Chains A and B, each alone.
Chain A
Amino acid sequence: MIVTDTIHLALRNLREAVLRTALTALGVSIGIASLVGMVSFGVGLQDQIVGNFLRSGLFNSITVTSALPAMARLRRTKGVERFIKGIEPSQPAAVRPKLDDSALQKLAALDRVKEVYPDIRVPVEVKLEDFSEFSAAAGIPMSARGEGVFQQISIGQFFPNDAGDSCMISLDFAHRITDGDVKTLLGKELTLGYATSANPAPSIPGIPAAGLSVQRTEKKFHIVGIVERQAGGGMGAGMFTSVMIPLAIARQMNAYDVSNPQDILRQLAEKSTYTTATVKVARPQDTEEVEKKIRDMGFTAVSVADLMQGQKRAFILLDLLLGLVGSIALTVASLGIINTMVMSILERTREIGIMKAVGGSDEDIRRIFLIEASLIGLVGGTFGIALGWAVGRVINLGANIYLQNQGAPTANLFLIPWWLVAGGIGFALLISLLAGSFPAMRAARLDPIQALRHD
């Protein structure tokens, strides 16, 4: 028997009982819709939470430090130990390398690394007209434009270039400077006072020169932008300070943190050694591999991805759970298919007998019924996806109206990716094939003589 003929015959049978077919397909639709709705809610929720991090640009950055002395104390805390172990260098402590310029070059040479820059914070005194405050200025690389807290700059803009005398300030800081409109601060000149070494480089490397002396240096910057820390951008705190200046300028300043004797001593002995550096990788999925290589080099490496590992597992569990709940309706729907097919076979017993009498084989009969079941599944599945999508839209609309009333940004809570469409229809097909296989087998095994006697 030709396959297309089998399909035609199956379609004809379905048309003959159009109401029953439609109701059964509707049952499958509702099953698939609830499954798709549940999973798409899980996917949407995950996208809301994980996606925010991805867009923040922090998923592809790794923070590298040469050592984590403070971790020794934390280690005693339960649970923290495992996390620390994961981020620590793979080599023993004795041979830990320094995080200096040559180390940064080596990091930059690693595969899939896009950019490496040191994290520099300069303790400064900020002066603007009669305002003065001690604070820290962070060196921001040009590549941070449009990422993290710099995704949207409330007022003004990002540095035009990294060589200029431009700076950005935080909105909080701007409010501290002026009681009036913070917009008037744009273009104003900010004076940063900071400490530099008055000593020449030590004659014997490694031994700090006696009689440490520090001198005050001043540098002027123009305010080009005012940045607001956003609710979701908590992870971007590393780069967010009161005053942000271009990284290249911060490196040139060679400032001391006079409040930290360690820093002074170390910097005298080991010029341009950094406490931390940031490594940016090309794609978020490269993070883990690059992190491992950095640890192999003897550094401590930590990324947001490390923190997100547990969350990912939680989302997989959530999706599974939602999928299970959604599957209950599908199970009921599959019973509906079995019921419909069994009824259909009862009704068409005589017809099956006739088909067998004129030469239909068991396999022919089985296929006709299997195709009927899978057509119900296909139609039900397709309609179910549409139904699930529509219900998701409606709930989303309601949720967004609520969110708007609460003053929160709107969100897309239901996401139906292509894999869910294909998976939903595929699952409907599979379920209906499984549900149809028993009735189809029964139809195939019917005794033709008894079937012909059937009314």
Chain B
Amino acid sequence: MHLMDIVLETRDLTKHYSMGSVVVRALDGITLRVARGEFLGLLGTSGSGKSTLLNLIAGLDRPTSGSLRVFDHNLADLSREALSVHRRKNVGMIFQSFNLIPTMTAAENVALSMMFAGVPRAQRERHARELLEKVGLAGRQLHRPKELSGGEQQRVAIARALANQPEILLADEPTGNLDSKTAGEILALLRELNTNEAKTVILVTHDSALASKFVQRTMTLLDGKVVAEAGS
């Protein structure tokens, strides 16, 4: 791995939560490196800390200690404002429950992150249409989330994640609410984006069998620690 190609690097990353008087060590010293264009699978049971790690990388949360570098920035040092810029520009999030805004059309949902980036309306609408075509939803721009199937909703969410051309896609159990056939299609789409557009993809899943068909490398977490690594 060439040093220049490292997009993400963590060192002794910890995240502790206080649940009443009990301190939960959600992450307990994670050290990892992700290279540009990698497709990494984060495996583990629920409560293993894999989602917590993804949220830290996404800039939705802050680490308790340790360093977390994405490109040139240590996210632990960034202001709230700078973290929102990181979420807007560097990463695209995909969730298990899709997290589309129900009152907005597919195109509006895709355009939302571009709106926060200050992209003018006309340009936003054109780009949203292109992205929806790319994820296989041509002609569905004006549909609202509840008029779309789960798989289609997740495609909208993927299109949204791509809107501001981030280098990194972060997918948190993206197939958790989908049947196995649709799940395969969604992962295939992520794989396609990884190979054709050189997007770095970090996939959080508990379904190691499914993940193994698509990812290059896996890390398995248990109680906030990396317990196994596999792949190149």
Name A residues whose Cβ lies closer than 8 Å to a Cβ of B.
1-2, 5, 9, 12, 16, 350-351, 353-364, 447-449, 452
Partner of A355 from B116, B117, B118 at Cβ < 8 Å: B116
Interface residues of B in 79-127 (CB under 8 A from A): 80-81, 84-85, 87-89, 93, 95, 99-101, 103, 112-113, 115-118, 120-121
Considering the chains assembled together, what is the distance between the CA atoms of A360 and B103 in angstroms?
18
| Pairwise interchain contact B103-A358, C-beta atoms closer than 8 A | no
Residues of B within 8 A of A364 (CB): 84, 116
B60 touches A357 (CB 8 A): yes
- Known contacts A351-B101, A354-B99, A357-B58; decide if A5 and B115 are in contact (CB<8 Å): yes
A359–B59 Cα distance when bound, in Å, is 10
**Set A1, A357, A449: member contacting B87, Cβ < 8 A:** A357
User: What are 5 of the A-B contact pairs (CB < 8 Å)?
Assistant: A351-B101, A354-B112, A358-B112, A358-B113, A362-B80
The contact of A359 among B55, B80, B87, by CB within 8 Å, is B87
B41: shortest Cβ distance to chain A, in Å? 21
The interface residues of chain A lying within 8 Å CB-to-CB of B85 are: 359, 361
Interface size class of B (residues with CB under 8 A): 20 to 34
With a cutoff of 8 Å between Cβ atoms, the chain A residues found around residue B155 in the complex are none
**What is the distance, in angstroms, from A339's C-beta to the closest C-beta of chain B?**
22
B164 at the interface (CB under 8 A from A): yes
| A354-B87 in contact (CB<8A) | no
Among candidates A12, A358, A449, residue contacting B116 with C-beta atoms closer than 8 Å = A358
Task: Tell me if A358 and B93 are in contact (CB < 8 A).
Answer: yes
Given A356-B84, A452-B99, answer yes or no on A1-B61 (Cβ-Cβ < 8 Å). Answer: no
**What is the distance, in angstroms, from A318's C-beta to the closest C-beta of chain B?**
49
Q: B55, A449: Cβ atoms under 8 Å?
A: yes
- The reply to whether the CB of B225 lies closer than 8 angstroms to some CB of chain A is no
| B residues in contact with A353, CB < 8 Å | 99
- How would residues 69 to 87 of chain B score, 1 for a CB under 8 Å from any chain A CB and 0 otherwise? 0000000000011001101
Q: Which residues of B contact A355 (CB under 8 A)?
A: 112, 116
Q: In whole Å, how far is B179's beta carbon from the nearest beta carbon of chain A?
A: 23
Cα of A358 to Cα of B95 in the assembled complex, Å: 11
CA distance A12 to B112 in the complex (A): 13
A19 CA to B18 CA, complexed, in Å: 41
Instruction: Please judge, given known A-B contacts A1-B115, A2-B120, whether A357 and B99 are in contact too, CB under 8 Å.
Output: yes
Contact of B60 among A9, A16, A361, A449 (CB under 8 A): A449
Least distance between A448 CB and chain B CB atoms (Å): 5
Q: A1-B117, A359-B89, A360-B88 are known contacts; what are 7 more A-B pairs with Cβ within 8 Å?
A: A356-B87, A357-B93, A358-B88, A358-B160, A361-B81, A449-B61, A452-B99
Chain A residues in 8 Å Cβ range of B55: 449
**Which single residue of chain B is at the shortest CB-CB distance from A360?**
B116
Asked whether, in the complex, the Cβ of A356 is within 8 Å of the Cβ of B60, the reply is yes
**CB–CB B115/A362 < 8 A:** no
Chain A: which residue is nearest B90 at the CB level? A359
Are A16 and B103 touching (Cβ within 8 A)?
A: yes
B-side contacts of A359, CB under 8 Å = 84-85, 87-89, 113, 116-117, 164
Identify the interface centre among B89, B112, B160, B163: most chain A CB within 10 Å of its CB. B112
CB distance from B8 to the nearest CB of A (A): 18
CB pair B115 A354 closer than 8 Å: no
- Looking at the assembled complex, report how far the CB atom of A30 sits from the nearest CB atom of chain B, in whole angstroms: 29
Alpha-carbon separation in the docked complex, A447 to B59 (Å): 11
Distance between B31 CB and nearest chain A CB, rounded to angstroms: 23
Return B170 CB to nearest CB of chain A, in Å.
10
Q: How far apart are the CA atoms of A356 and B163 in the complex, in Å?
A: 15
Output the residue of A351, A357, A448, A449 with the most chain B CB within 10 A.
A357
